[in-house]
Amino acid sequence: MVTNPIEQPPTPRWRTHGEKALLHAKERFSVNRPLGDATTISRELKTFLKIEDQRLKIAHRCGAPGSQTAAARSSVLDLVVERAYQAATLLGDIDNSSEKAEHVCAVVALGGYGRGELAPYSDLDILFLYPNHRALQTRRLVEQILRLLWDAGLTVGPSFRSVPDCVAAAHADPHLQTALVSTRLLAGNRSIYDSLLQALEKDRRKRGDAYIAAILRERAARYAKFGAAVCLQEPNVKESPGGIRDLHTALWVGYTRYGCRTLDELRDHDVISEAERRTAARAANFLWRVRYAAHLSTRRKTERLALDLQTTLAREFGYKQSAYLLASEKFMRDYYHHARELHLFSETLLARASESERKASRKWGRRLSRIPAEPLSISNGRVQLEGEAGLLTSNPMLLFDAFALAQAADVPLSQTFRDALRQSLPAVDRNFRRSAEGSRAFMKLLGRRGRAGYVLRLLHEVGFLARFVPEFGRISLLIQHDLYHHYTVDEHTLKAVEALDELYASQDKQRAHLRSIFDEIEDPSLLYLSILLHDIGKGRGRGHIPRGAKIAERVCKRLGLSELDAAKVVLMVKYHVAMAQLAQRRDLNEPHVVTDFAARMGTLDALNGLLLLTYADLNAVAPGVWSEWKSTLLWELYRRARTVLTGTDAPPDETEKTARFKEQMAKALEGSLALSEVERHVALLPDRYVRVTRPAAAAIHLHLIKELKSDVTSEIFARRWMRLGRASTELTICTRDRHGLCADIAGAVAAHGIEILSAELNTREDGIALDVFMLREASTHHAIDMQRYPAIERSLRKAIAGESDIAALVERWRTRNAPRKRNAVSHSGSRNPPQVACDNETSQSSTLIEVHAVDEPGLAYKIASALAALGLNIVCAKIATEKSDALDVFYVTDGDGMKLSLSRMQSVQVSLVEMLSGEIPVTAATGQQPDHANLRRTLNEKG
């Protein structure tokens, strides 16, 4: 790999820092200088630390290797702890002799400090080891040492134990167990420290397997907490897979299994090769420099590389923006490269330790006859190569045989096989990629429903996938710097394939309809290939979809697919975001929206494939992105498009549809209201009402209107709540229309921490508004708790009556409850301004206004208020939010119920950006404020 700005070769300057610190300590801590009281000593230590930290900061910013800087800081702290120990023995009342005091305890560095690795704001884990008969004297000494260190500004994690205590506690606490693997004597009793080492070594030999099992459990828990993938968008440089802790895990297992504490010792005992040692050391050095810089940049113990911090570090390390990649994206690509190398090194060492522990190779009693690969076998639960490593180079088709065997038997490759495989990768060349035999074998791997993800991840881990499909290699380790995608492009793609596999094996009743669609897919290999290639055009600037379609066409041709099959794959890639966008951002009741979409699909198999690709894609974006609400929206679009493609239930004409609607509405009323009321209700509403409303819901609307007009109650509004599964709640509000009603309702619910998912707004000619809102809890993304209904209704009552300061209520909720949102990252590294786009083509009767902005509490209210201030009438709204990224779509008309003119669209676009950016207040919008009820009535007349 090309040397990047972080990886500069070490120079003698950094190697002498410890010597400089020692000279500084000798001068400042000279025995000829008076000791002074505890306050004086702490001040002395603090000054020493300040000077040395500044030196280390300069060294780091001049390019010092990360591992050496971390080691230098550890050396500096050694001098401080040693000085505190010496001072405590003289200040305290241990005995009257410092010589005797030195026998009271041993001061031992643990964990990272024990390894000699400290970042600027790392804690100091120190064990005070004492003989059983000196516990009281030791505790007094320890208290004095800790006071000196704390007063010097250090964060110390102390523990106070005897040797037997340490061994017993390590059995119960895996964190202490691993911390005790890396220890150093800082000061005090050497004899008792040696006793600890002997006891730990004895325990290691006796309980090695239990130690390793505990280490692996700790690793599994860590991955569950910090993400089970190397290529996270915002990784934890210490704890995430591929982080520094992965190296520690490998070293802990190396010590437990082989008695080797360092990379050099592992190499000297032939556990790892020199090349592997260099790779691991280089990766660790990179990550340590990143971690050191993260601490310095944030001035605190920062381990997570947030998006804004990535931008800062990229600039600090000298990365430059190119035509297609931000500097931060280049920086993170290098980070992922080294993190993956470190993760693979850790996995390799763990696998070797596991395999070396197996005593006998128990082979399968038979070979899998359906995979006639004689040099391959399965033993000890792994695919093994029965022969020389050169077999794979001379016959690379054996690689496909091995992958097929691993896929069929659900077993991994042995570490020996992986080592041989990596050496044979050059044989996967242009000729092999173009061979018909290789292409057939690859597509066969993709043809197994429910098992494609397993084998594709295996191919990616060993480097085969990037060799066989070089186009995929170009999107590997590519981060997407937005607030939406949680993973790099390659990791997202593999997770999408795995999501489809998981669906196939799932027994979840709520996804049974999707599983049945998967069963209808004619050729699963084409669907899996489509998912593998759906983001293949990323990393080269804008337009990744058309570019990806062209790349997919080229890959399909190389794989020897027929024109028909290739066309299916290209279609999937070309429209892989279309279904989600239509379902979430468009009004499906608009004429031609569904029919045009179905026409683009062409066949039921293509529609089925795109539904499953969309499901897999959304599931792989980030945890929590897929939701029951999205499932409902997608299924509705799919159902309607399927009806168009299959020709069943052909839609009636408008007259027939209206007549059927009235008939079904009357049936739902069960005679509770006269048929004339049904006729009048439909006549007072626009034609759109019949398209978007279920007859049963319309019957409820009539009851709400009756309730509103009743003389028995003086309610200003009537309402109906309906819980829709676990993910959303429908709220229907019936009231007298007025200007700004929609915005005030949106603000009232926002002030209770509730998100609007969609809104359907209708007003009768007699001024009665029927507004239907789909809602969910902002914090949990669940349906609203029924116990909250009364409080929300009280707020709605005041809002509808115009008795509330809605803006103040929203701001109060935001201040008290809303977490701080991180700024979106743009090419300039600053907060992205809202983006507003207007569209007059999609809808026959309305203008679409799309607002793309960083999400914030009450954003829908803010937009609705701005639209009302601009004199626009909201007909329908679709609200979509992913993480901190909001894309809200509003169907609007002007004061005459018409689409906006071109000049008006341009004016609205500019004004809306200014208002949402805070450049001008919403109330400062110019133009006449029309009567809202008249606006709606005019709209109704236009239908």
Cα 714 to chain centroid, rounded: 50
Residue type, position 873, single letter:
N
Strand 885-893 to strand 847-854: parallel, antiparallel, or no bridges (unpaired)?
antiparallel
- Quote the pTM value: 0.75
Q: What is the pLDDT of residue 826?
A: 41
Residue 475: strand pairing partners: none
Most confident of 196-210, 301-315, 345-359: 301-315
| Alpha-carbon span 33 to 256, nearest angstrom | 46
pLDDT at 367 over 70: no
| Per-position DSSP letters for 287-300, written without gaps between them | HHHHHHHHHHHHTS
What is the per-residue pLDDT across 123-175, written as a single tens digit (0 to 9) for each? 999 999 988 766 777 888 899 999 999 999 999 999 999 999 999 999 888 88
Alpha carbon separation from 319 to 99, 322, 330, 899 (Å, rounded)? 55, 10, 7, 48
Residue type, position 270, single letter:
D
Residue type, position 96, single letter:
N
| Alpha-carbon span 540 to 478, nearest angstrom | 11
Residue 761: strand pairing partners: 771
Maximum CA pair distance of the chain?
Answer: 108
The length of the chain is 943
Residue 879: strand pairing partners: 888
Q: What is the pLDDT of residue 245?
A: 96
Average confidence (pLDDT) over 333-361: 82
The answer to whether 752 touches 792, Cβ cutoff 8 Å, is yes
Q: What is the pLDDT of residue 584?
A: 87
Alpha carbon separation from 476 to 37, 344, 893 (Å, rounded)? 59, 15, 45
First to last CA, the chain: 63
Q: What is the pLDDT of residue 919?
A: 63
Q: What is the pLDDT of residue 943?
A: 38
Cα 380 to chain centroid, rounded: 36
Mean of the per-residue pLDDT values of the chain: 85
Q: What is the pLDDT of residue 651?
A: 53
Provide the 10 A C-beta neighbour count for residue 368: 15
Q: What is the pLDDT of residue 586?
A: 87
Q: Where would I find the H helices in 319-435?
A: 327-357, 390-394, 397-409, 415-424, 430-433
In the chain, where are the structural domains located?
12-210, 229-356, 469-646, 716-817+832-942
pLDDT at 14 over 60: no
Strand order in the sheet with 728-736: 717-724, 728-736, 768-777, 754-763, 873-882, 885-893, 847-854, 835-839
Most confident of 3-12, 34-43, 599-608: 599-608
Average confidence (pLDDT) over 805-827: 66
Average confidence (pLDDT) over 296-314: 93
Provide the 10 A C-beta neighbour count for residue 198: 11
Give the phi and the psi of residue 890 in degrees, each rounded to 5.
-125, 130
What is the per-residue pLDDT across 177-208, written as a single tens digit (0 to 9) for each? 889 989 999 999 999 999 999 999 998 888 88
Q: What is the pLDDT of residue 882?
A: 66
Poorest-confidence range of 297-311, 715-729, 825-839? Answer: 825-839
pLDDT classification of 926: cutoffs 50, 70, 90? very low
pLDDT at 371 over 80: no
Cα 289 to chain centroid, rounded: 24
C-alpha Rg value of the chain to the nearest Å: 34
Q: What is the pLDDT of residue 311?
A: 93
CA pseudo-torsion sign 134, 135, 138, 140 = negative
| Per-position DSSP letters for 747-791, written without gaps between them | HHHHTTTEEEEEEEEEE-TTSEEEEEEEEEETTT-SPPPGGGHHH
**Burial call 136-169: b when 16+ CB within 10 Å, e when fewer:** ebbeebbebbbbbbebbebebebbbbbbeebbee
Percent of the chain with pLDDT over 70: 87
Q: Which residues contact 419 (CB under 8 A, 6 or more apart)?
A: 389
Put residue 375 in one of left, alpha, beta given phi > 0 → left and psi -120 to 50 → alpha: alpha
pLDDT at 547 over 90: yes
| Alpha-carbon span 47 to 524, nearest angstrom | 68
Poorest-confidence range of 14-23, 116-125, 264-273, 895-904? Answer: 14-23
pLDDT at 244 over 90: yes
Q: Which residue has the higher pLDDT, 326 or 539?
A: 326
What is the topology classification, in CATH, of domain 229-356?
A: Four Helix Bundle (Hemerythrin (Met), subunit A) (1.20.120)
Average confidence (pLDDT) over 228-256: 93
What is the residue whose two structure tokens read 């759109």?
Answer: 688
| Alpha-carbon span 438 to 441, nearest angstrom | 5
Q: Residue 701: in which H helix or E strand, if any? A: helix 695-709
Q: What is the pLDDT of residue 361?
A: 36
Provide the 10 A C-beta neighbour count for residue 468: 23
Q: Which residue has the higher pLDDT, 177 or 881?
A: 177
Put residue 114 in one of left, alpha, beta given phi > 0 → left and psi -120 to 50 → alpha: alpha
378: helix, strand or coil = strand
Alpha carbon separation from 122 to 57, 288, 831, 859, 882 (Å, rounded)? 15, 12, 31, 39, 34
Cα 713 to chain centroid, rounded: 51
715 burial (CB, 10 Å; 0-12 / 13-18 / 19+) is: middle
Q: Residue 159: in which H helix or E strand, if any? A: strand 156-161
The answer to whether 802 touches 795, Cβ cutoff 8 Å, is no
Q: What is the pLDDT of residue 355?
A: 72
Average confidence (pLDDT) over 895-920: 85
pLDDT at 96 over 50: no
The answer to whether 327 touches 279, Cβ cutoff 8 Å, is no
Average confidence (pLDDT) over 691-720: 87
Residue type, position 365, single letter:
G
The answer to whether 261 touches 251, Cβ cutoff 8 Å, is yes
Average confidence (pLDDT) over 841-863: 85
| Alpha-carbon span 709 to 719, nearest angstrom | 13
| Alpha-carbon span 682 to 700, nearest angstrom | 13
Give the phi and the psi of residue 45 in degrees, each rounded to 5.
-65, -40
What is the per-residue pLDDT across 426-463, written as a single tens digit (0 to 9) for each? 999 999 999 999 999 999 999 999 999 999 999 999 99
| Alpha-carbon span 913 to 834, nearest angstrom | 6
Q: What is the pLDDT of residue 502?
A: 94
Residue type, position 571, single letter:
L
Strands (E), 406-528: none
What is the residue whose two structure tokens read 């470190």?
Answer: 342
pLDDT classification of 100: cutoffs 50, 70, 90? low
Q: Which residue has the higher pLDDT, 481 or 264?
A: 264
Q: What is the pLDDT of residue 711?
A: 62
What is the per-residue pLDDT across 619-677, written as a single tens digit (0 to 9) for each? 998 777 787 778 888 999 999 999 999 876 555 567 788 888 999 999 999 888 888 89
Q: Which two tokens stand for residue 689?
A: 């009402």
Q: What is the pLDDT of residue 352?
A: 86
Most confident of 358-372, 596-610, 747-761: 596-610
891: helix, strand or coil = strand
Q: What is the pLDDT of residue 690?
A: 86
Q: What is the pLDDT of residue 920?
A: 61
What is the residue whose two structure tokens read 């169907």?
Answer: 891
What is the per-residue pLDDT across 488-542, written as a single tens digit (0 to 9) for each? 899 999 999 999 999 998 888 888 899 999 999 999 999 999 999 999 998 777 7
What is the residue whose two structure tokens read 């397997």?
Answer: 209
- Specify the CATH superfamily of domain 12-210: Beta Polymerase, domain 2 (3.30.460.10)
Residue 881: strand pairing partners: 886
Q: What is the pLDDT of residue 11?
A: 43
